[in-house]
Amino acid sequence: MSICPEYQDLMAGVVDETLSPEEQARAEQHLSMCVRCASEVRELRATRRLLAALPQEETSPLFVPRLRERLAAPPPSVWGRLAAWTGEPRLALQLAAAGAAVLLVVGAVTWRHMPVPPQPNRNQSYATQPYSSGDPELDAFVQECISRHESNQANRMLWHDADHVMAVASQAR
Ligand SMILES: [Zn+2]
């Protein structure tokens, strides 16, 4: 729901109760015919009533001039905002360093958990190269491990070399 574009000023006047008698009459005529505007004005009035019911906060006499000053000033840099927020440049520096450290850790963890992109040639060599430990049962188990992990992209990084597979296989037996 939204107010008809050509009636926006008039409807705002209705909500604010600032219309002249003629304008008010024109607004009411439109409201009697337009469901969209009528519903929107009803909501805006309800919101206004809620806001009016809130306790009024006294602002400092400096509030408005300070706000104007801030709005006129160019937006501060991230560094400036951090320093302003903490009220102390040294603390801002520490926070910035902590932020960088967090980014590094998150980056490292993400990097470690990133699935290794498929490397067909390398894996193909596993699939076609027979391993021999001299123990047929162990060889079969190793081959099974390899073929199982061939189908699991995320685990490929764990299976870089045959020695590792052999070690795991020996432990699993
Ligand atoms: Zn309308």
- Tens digit of each residue's pLDDT (9 = 90 or more) over 9-51: 999 999 999 999 999 999 999 999 999 999 999 999 998 888 8
- Whether residue 108 is contained in a domain is answered as no
Q: What is the dihedral of CA 66, 72, 74, 78, to 10 degrees?
A: 30
CA of 49 to the centre of ligand 1 (A): 22
CA of 44 to the centre of ligand 1 (A): 14
- Whether residue 109 is contained in a domain is answered as no
Number of domains the chain contains: 3
Residues 26, 67: one domain?
no
Residues 125, 151: one domain?
yes
Write the pLDDT tens digit of every residue in 147-160: 665 555 444 444 44
- Whether residue 106 is contained in a domain is answered as no
The SS3 assignment for 12 reads helix
What does the block give as tokens for 76? 């501060």
Residues 15, 49: one domain?
yes
Q: Which domain holds residue 27?
A: 5-53
pTM (2 d.p.): 0.34
- Rounded Cα gap, residues 87 and 134, in angstroms: 71
